[in-house]
Amino acid sequence: MGTSTGGDADGYVVLTSRPGVYRSEPPAEAGIAETYDYLFYGKPKAVFQIVSLIAGGRVRIVEDAPPHTVNLVPMRIMERYASLDDARTAIRQLANFGTLQATLVRR
């Protein structure tokens, strides 16, 4: 279950992290509403977080390998979802590969 620490959300964005490759870190004031692990044939491949949109907020994208390059991406340029249900639908669509064994597990 997620926690929401941000103020009233003016929408949501979906952040993706790939363990061992990079991680997406929301701004400190953004509330993480929900987190999902994406498993492909039982192996963790990605983590999706639904995060409250914060005006002027920037997401830190940090590479796991040295030199741990950091990019700051403005939330305003990310795809925005009006509701949690819209964001959940987007994650389900990302994880749906027909007959392949892909699973979303909510934390």
pLDDT, tens digit (0-9, with 9 covering 90-100), for 47-62: 999 999 999 999 999 9
Using CA atoms, how far residue 26 sits from 14, 98, 107, in Å, is 10, 31, 17
Q: Quick check: is 1 in a domain?
A: no
**pTM for this one?**
0.84
**Within a domain: residue 20?**
yes
* Average confidence (pLDDT) over 92-106: 83
Q: Provide the number of structural domains found in the chain.
A: 1
The verdict on residue 100 lying in a domain is yes
Say if 97 falls within a structural domain.
yes
DSSP state of 87: H
User: Sign of torsion, CA 19 32 74 67?
Assistant: negative
Residue 68, domain member (yes or no): yes
CB of 42 closer than 8 Å to CB of 72? no
Residue 84 sits in which domain range?
12-106
For residue range 21-41, what is the model confidence (pLDDT) as tens digits? 999 999 999 999 999 999 999
Q: Domain for residue 7, yes or no? A: no
